[in-house]
């Protein structure tokens, strides 16, 4: 009864401030929309200045290949420039991201079987744009040599055809596990330890510490109310994400149950972890500061945005003990591997152990005195 009373108190207070719950839903959705659009898709429309001092056939062939890229994938937009001086000025001003200078005699040298160089000057302040322009130019030079496009990859005489094992997951949809985990983390920021610290800051805790509530009553009551909030917000986030991306949970009712189980475990584990770290803080500002820091260092290495394989060894080691990594991996396995629950098994086991340890630690470290 006492645990339920602590939960009820917390839930009533949160229900009277629905904006906090709403923010735990809307902010992760905003992440999905912004990150999904900011990070996905090929680069297009990079302005490439073009100064051609040669009117020969090879120079025209190179320009033709670049025009094909412009009207095809659209990586570059060609900007004809009359003189090298004007080209360099525009490059320095940032009006163009790259400058291709085709010198006089370029076609002549090539037609005589000699090597010829065209200068590519890149605005390397934006390394990703510079790399994309360079790749386009290499593609154009290759196309100049081999004008027929190939649609199959050949190794010797063997033909390779790629086949996707699981249903197609586009980038927006691939962010869903991360966004759900983010929503759980935000839920743990606005409930649990935060409520304890706010009570302490306002002096309200003195009244309930004067009752026979045990440490475990207070801890479990607060954590379970936070879990209800996180579960609610992440369910809403999941539903809205599916609406936005057109995805759905594979595996039928068992799939839904598995997702709910992972969300529940993750919520409880994260809330307990926050209680261990912040349960004794005496100012809500400290909660804001530490939560903001944890939100970044736990989310970005979690594999929600980039695969762990791209990390250096030390970061991979950190990611392997990051609870968000296992939550994201478990959700990905359930959501995208056609409802294959076995694939999530290891991560669910890890999360269960983590949650059990954090629950124990949070109860032991909670302060029962002023």
Partner 1 sequence: MTAAIEVHGITKRFGGLTAVDHVDLEVREGELFGLVGPNGAGKTTLIRMLIGLVPISSGEAKVAQVDVRHDPDGVRRALGVVPQALTSDLDLTGYENLDIYARFFNVRRAQRRTRIEELLHRVALWDRRDDLVKTYSGGMRRRLEIARGLIHRPKVLFLDEPTIGLDPQSRHVIWDLLTDLRRGGGLTVSLTTHYLDEAEALCDRVAIVDQGKIVALGSPQELKSLVPGSDTIELGLEGEPAEGLLDSLKALPGAREVERTANGVRIRADSGAELLPVVFERFRAAGLKVHSASISRISLEDVFIHVTGRSLREESAARPQPGSPRRFT
- Per rule CB under 8 A, is residue 4 in the interface with partner 1? yes
Residues with Cβ < 8 Å from 228, sequence gap 6 or more? 7, 11
Residue reference for tokens 């594979």: 250
Sole binder of partner 1 in the list 211, 248, 254, 346 (CB under 8 A): 211
Q: Is 19 in the site for partner 1 (CB under 8 A)?
A: no
- Cα dist from 203 to 198, 206, 283, 288, whole Å: 8, 6, 11, 19
Residue 206 beta carbon to partner 1: minimum distance, rounded to whole angstroms: 4
Q: Rounded distance, CA 217 to CA 2, Å?
A: 6
Nearer to partner 1, 83 or 282 (CB): 282
Quickly list H helices, the chain.
2-15, 18-39, 57-71, 84-93, 106-111, 127-145, 171-174, 176-190, 193-202, 205-209, 215-245, 252-278, 284-299, 313-320, 323-336, 345-365
197, 278 Cβ separation under 8 angstroms: yes
Decide: is 77 part of the binding site for partner 1 (CB under 8 A).
no
**8 makes contact with partner 1 (CB under 8 A):** yes
- Judged by beta carbon, residue 92 or residue 283, the one nearer partner 1 is 283
Q: Which of 115, 163, 210, 310 binds partner 1 (CB under 8 A)?
A: 210
Tell me whether residue 9 or residue 316 sits nearer to partner 1 (CB atom).
9
Shortest distance in whole angstroms from residue 200 CB to partner 1: 8
- Contact stretch for partner 1 (CB under 8 A) within 12-20, 98-106, 121-129, 159-167: 12-20
* 361 in contact with partner 1 (CB under 8 A): no
Beta bridge partners of 77: 47
Does 208 help bind partner 1 (rule: CB under 8 A)?
Answer: yes
Which 247-306 residues touch partner 1, going by CB under 8 A?
A: 282-283
The sign of the CA dihedral 233, 241, 39, 343 is positive
Instruction: Decide: is 9 part of the binding site for partner 1 (CB under 8 A).
Output: yes
What is the torsion angle, in degrees rounded to the nearest 10, for the CA atoms of residue 263, residue 265, residue 267 and residue 272? Answer: -170
Piece in contact with partner 1 (CB under 8 A), picked from 58-66, 202-210, 246-254, 256-264:
202-210
Tell me which residues touch partner 1 (CB under 8 A). 1-2, 4-6, 8-9, 12-13, 16-17, 201-214, 282-283, 369-370
């Amino acid at each position: 009864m006492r645990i339920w009373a602590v939960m009820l108190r917390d839930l009533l207070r949160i229900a009277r401030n629905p904006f906090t719950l709403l923010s735990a839903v809307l902010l992760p959705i905003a992440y999905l929309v912004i990150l999904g659009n900011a990070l996905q898709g090929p680069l297009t429309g990079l302005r490439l200045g073009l100064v051609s001092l040669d009117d020969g056939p090879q120079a025209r062939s190179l320009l033709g290949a670049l025009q094909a890229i412009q009207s095809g994938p659209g990586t570059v937009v060609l900007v004809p420039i009359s003189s090298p001086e004007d080209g360099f000025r525009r490059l320095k001003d940032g009006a163009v991201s790259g400058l291709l200078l085709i010198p006089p005699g370029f076609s002549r040298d090539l037609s005589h079987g000699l090597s010829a160089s065209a200068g590519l000057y890149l605005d390397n302040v934006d390394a990703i744009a510079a790399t994309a322009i360079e790749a386009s130019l290499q593609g154009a030079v290759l196309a100049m040599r081999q004008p027929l496009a190939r649609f199959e990859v050949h190794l010797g005489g063997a033909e390779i055809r790629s086949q996707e094992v699981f249903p197609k997951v586009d980038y927006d949809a691939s962010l869903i596990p991360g966004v759900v985990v983010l929503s759980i983390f935000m839920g743990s920021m606005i409930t649990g330890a935060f409520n304890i610290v706010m009570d302490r800051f306002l002096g309200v805790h003195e009244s309930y510490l004067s009752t026979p509530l045990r440490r475990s009553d207070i801890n479990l009551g607060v954590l379970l109310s936070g879990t209800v909030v996180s579960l609610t917000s992440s369910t809403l986030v999941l539903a809205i994400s599916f609406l936005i991306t057109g995805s759905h949970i594979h595996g039928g009712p068992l799939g839904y149950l598995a997702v709910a189980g992972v969300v529940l475990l993750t919520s409880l584990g994260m809330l307990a972890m926050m209680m261990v770290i912040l349960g004794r803080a005496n100012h809500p500002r400290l909660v804001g500061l530490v939560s903001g820091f944890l939100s970044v260092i736990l989310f970005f290495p979690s594999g929600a945005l980039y695969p762990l394989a791209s990390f250096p060894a030390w970061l991979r080691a950190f990611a392997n003990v990051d609870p968000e990594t296992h939550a994201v991996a478990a959700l990905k396995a359930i959501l995208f591997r056609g409802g294959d629950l076995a694939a999530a098994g290891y991560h669910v086991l890890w999360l269960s152990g983590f949650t059990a340890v954090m629950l124990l630690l949070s109860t032991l470290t909670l302060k029962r005195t002023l």
